[in-house]
Structure 1
Amino acid sequence: MTSYEHFAEAAHAYADLVAQIRPDQWDSPGLGVWDLRALVGHGARALITVDTYLDRPAAEVVLDGPVAYLTSVGASGNSAGGDPGAVAERGRQAGASLGADPAAAVRVLVERVLPRVERAGDPVIETIGGGMRLSDYLPTRTFELVVHGLDVARASGQPPSALGEEVLDEVTVLAASAAVRHGGGAVLLAALTGRAPLPEDFSVV
């Protein structure tokens, strides 16, 4: 499967998950400072940013792959993309922009963005972290859709989406590679092999 196919599978799974949220759940706790609406909005930004960046060609490649993206704009705060306050506010705004029927709004995003990506080829796009190939950016969006899909499922009392092994392999390998790049490879390996638990604040983003 290609990075586009992984992205499409994760996007459809996310939309299907959001469609099962009950009307009385949108103001309930989501994740951290977010209610469920803001959490869903934040996850939907994985689609919104692709839609936006397709209209922003970059002159050169600055980030050479998805691992470079995650480690440059993650929780380390190396850019505006990693500032926790800015991330929280973008999530709230994205949730509000979903309107009266958030599930329908997410489905519309999926139906608009996927054909655009399929037609686009592999341009160099300007992301919040710098120029990179679309094919390298998409795995970071698949990662966001899958991880926040798990968050949405947990917050809304649903089972996780039934994703294919290839998609789960892509996002898990990406997370592990980001941990190594952050200097946490040995800690993660010890946890994965049952040697030691992960530290409470351990994260690759």
Structure 2
Amino acid sequence: MTLQAHVETFRRAGDHAVSVAEQVKPDQWDSPALGTWSVRTLVGHISRSFTTVVDYSARPADRVDVSDAAQYYVVIAPMLTDSSQIDARAVQAGLALGDDPLDTLRELQDRAAAVLDIDDQVIQTIAGGMRLSDYLPTRIFELGLHSIDLARAIGASEALPAEVADSILALSVAVAQRRDDSQALLCALTGRGPLTPGYSIV
């Protein structure tokens, strides 16, 4: 897919995430959401899909180290084993939303949209140098899946826009292939056997 196609899907995923956040009731921000996270913490984590785009777009890289979005998740897998660091970043992002979290979230979305009117440059990510067009599917993935988490936490509709769900599914399959899980996945998808309990590509 072209950079522009990924940008359009990213914007759609962002619009959807914000629309779910807009349904959070005033008394729900401190309610449980995902694991130990509150609704505020989860929305803060969602906001990082906007802030990382802004931050990474300002950090050009000299070379491509990560060839695509699937490799990105393979590379960062060891970093995901320390849940305390992930939790700390999410909590901080939730606090940074301030007294009006929705306005802050919308502002961060606007900032991300503003930096995407660029060429397909190589940016420095946590996994290494990547083309922007290869990085954006990882943000679509995060926005879409955590929109589902948020919707479930607050009792809203969890249905994703079709193009967002398609992007997440395609990336999920690609990551499973990189992990040599293709047969297990195809058996599960065709009713020929379950995945192992707790299986996740991230």
**TM-score over 0.5 (shorter chain):** yes
* Map of 1:113 onto structure 2: 112
State whether residues 21 and 150 of structure 2, in contact with CA within 8 Å, keep that contact through their aligned partners in structure 1.
yes
SS, match of residue 202 in structure 1: coil
Root-mean-square deviation over aligned CA pairs: 1.4
Give the partner amino acid of 2:14: A
How big is the shift at 1:116?
A: 1.2
Give deviations 1:51-80, integer Å, cap 9, x for gaps.
110111111000001111111113xx1x4x
**1:186 and 1:53 mapped to 2: Cα distance?**
35
* Map of 1:193 onto structure 2: 190
Q: Which runs of 4+ in 1 moved over 6 A?
A: none
How big is the shift at 1:106?
A: 0.8
SS, match of residue 115 in structure 2: helix
* Map of 1:137 onto structure 2: 135
SS, match of residue 120 in structure 1: coil
Q: 1:20 to 1:12 in 2, by over 3 A?
A: same
SS, match of residue 66 in structure 2: coil
1:171 lines up with 2:168 in the alignment: yes
Q: Which of 38, 49, 53 is the matching residue for 1:50? A: 53
1:104 lines up with 2:103 in the alignment: yes
**1:200 and 1:93 mapped to 2: Cα distance?**
31
Give deviations 1:58-111, integer Å, cap 9, x for gaps.
11000001111111113xx1x4x6532211111111111101111111111111
Q: Which of 149, 152, 159 is the matching residue for 1:151? A: 149
State whether residues 144 and 160 of structure 2, in contact with CA within 8 Å, keep that contact through their aligned partners in structure 1.
no
Alignment coverage as a number of residue pairs:
199
Percent identical among aligned pairs is 42
* Map of 1:27 onto structure 2: 30
Q: Which of 121, 124, 127 is the matching residue for 1:126? A: 124
1:17 lines up with 2:15 in the alignment: no
How big is the shift at 1:167?
A: 2.4
TM-score of the pair, normalised by structure 1: 0.92
**2:171 and 2:142 mapped to 1: Cα distance?**
11
Give the partner amino acid of 2:138: T
How big is the shift at 1:162?
A: 4.3
